[in-house]
Amino acid sequence: MSTSAQIGVSGLAVMGRNLARNFARNGYTVALHNRTASRTHDLIKEFGHEGDFVPTESAEDFVAALERPRRLMIMVKAGAPTDAVIQEFARLLEPGDMIIDGGNAHFADTRRRERELRERGIHFVGTGVSGGEEGALHGPSIMPGGSTESYASLGPMLEKISAKAKDGAPCVTHVGPDGAGHFVKMVHNGIEYADMQLIGEAYQLLRDVAGRTPAQIAEIFRTWNTGRLDSYLIEITAEVLSHVDAATGAPFVDVVLDQAEQKGTGRWTVQIALDLGVPVSGIAEAVFARSLSGHAALREASRGLAGPRPAPMGEAEAAAFADRVEQALYASKIVSYTQGFHEIAAGSEEYGWHIDLGKVASIWRGGCIIRAAFLDRIRAAYDARADLPSLLSDKTFAQEIADAQDDWREVLVAATRQGVPAPGFAAALAYYDALRAERLPAALTQGQRDFFGAHTYRRTDRAGSYHTLWGGDRSEVEA
């Protein structure tokens, strides 16, 4: 077996197959491996003309086909299957070689794997890949972690196969050490959950309150996609809403069961945010909304509960309402990105990753699911001020929310009065109002905690921690 391949891909399901083709299309010789050899043969038969492939059937032949330092990308199911594949290949590798995990691994697993392989002299590169099967083939957004040495060897290859932003910049950067890449990919997916929930709420409000049909709403979204909401998710929303089911002639969205599934990265985003003490209420509401949608029996039992039913508006009123929904959607979207970037910053500080938030925004401008025009402005905001506490601290974004908030509030009033759930819009506005509040009820909460658990409290007028003797004369003692 000649050592001719510059990179190898093991795991040739849709994502792995398309990444292998992407490497080959960009001039790299690619070694192929799959536990089921027929997938390897099928790829060669169907796409072998696209570039130089080296098909292999065993782990030994696969590793032997790679030039040094060996670059071996695994695209297998997260968890135990990933560990099993790593162990299978690691025994065959030498110091300086690298294993690249392009799956949706939990960042804590990536940190463990990177540490274990580092002790053996092997680089482990946990790499977030976003863009779905089309992105994998034509150019994804890529979020690699790992050592600087591994990026020096692998980075130019990833930059070549990645998506390119409108200014030509490759949508890939060395995010940081060990699990940083998979952490950023996790938060990307959390923002994606929030984005999709907000779009769903906008759709439901336009349909139930404004009385628009799916086809009419598709046109509204197409119009929005020419302005500040320009994004991949807005674009595909218009396509989905305009689609008509061939079997029934009904709008496609009406024949799809209203139960949204999830693979886990959104949940991870919320769970880790809780561990870090970072409020990501918009992302959490999106996760809970998907969860609630799946409780069919509970929803069926509750449909008779008291409450208002939507009464569609007249034509002029509906048109004005659609404009207000656009404002609410845009303002809520800013908040969801604010929360996501806050979590990335907190994770970076907790684990010593030194993640550049401006570069994260930059590589999300193309290829990935949440790619959007306003990421250029997010990048510019962080480039101008690396220590920006929040996107809401940026003057431009703050002004846009100030301009949108009256309509944002009116949309939520209409949703509440007509009984249309809008938890994403509501959570985003509550977060905004909590940040700008002079005082929060947390003072009362801390007083309650001191009453029943002697948890102490701090005062506004002097330093130190205190406890009130609630059961006696209620005198205060310094803790």
Q: Among all residues, which ones are annotated catalytic?
A: 185, 192
Q: How many CB atoms lie within 10 A of CB 377?
A: 17
Could you give the CA distance from residue 280 to residue 190 in angstroms, rounded to a whole number? 9
The encoded tokens of residue 351 equal 């684990």
C-beta separation of 71 from 8 below 8 A:
yes
Phi, psi of 465 (to 5 degrees): -110, 145
384 burial level (CB within 10 Å; 0-12, 13-18, 19+): exposed
Could you give the CA distance from residue 434 to residue 442 in angstroms, rounded to a whole number? 11
Residues linked to residue 343 through DSSP beta bridges, in sequence order? none
* Strand pairing class (141-144; 30-33): unpaired
Taking alpha carbons only, the member of 370, 373, 377 closest to residue 233 is 370
Could you give the CA distance from residue 268 to residue 274 in angstroms, rounded to a whole number? 10
Helix residue spans in 277-314 (DSSP H)? 281-293, 296-302
Phi, psi of 31 (to 5 degrees): -80, 140
C-beta separation of 125 from 144 below 8 A:
yes
**How far does CA 34 lie from the centroid of its chain?**
28
Start-to-end CA span in the chain (Å): 72
Taking alpha carbons only, the member of 170, 128, 171, 125 closest to residue 151 is 125
Could you give the CA distance from residue 264 to residue 291 in angstroms, rounded to a whole number? 11
Could you give the CA distance from residue 245 to residue 24 in angstroms, rounded to a whole number? 37
Name, in order, each residue with C-beta under 8 angstroms of 273's C-beta and a sequence gap of 6 or more: 279, 280, 283, 284, 343
**CB hemisphere CA count around 283 (13 angstroms):** 30
Write the single-letter amino acid at 8: G
The encoded tokens of residue 255 equal 């024949």
Could you give the CA distance from residue 444 to residue 280 in angstroms, rounded to a whole number? 23
Q: How far is CA 33 from each of CA 12, 21, 41, 76, 338, rounded to the nearest angstrom?
A: 7, 13, 10, 11, 41
C-beta separation of 131 from 139 below 8 A:
yes
Could you give the CA distance from residue 197 to residue 395 in angstroms, rounded to a whole number? 26
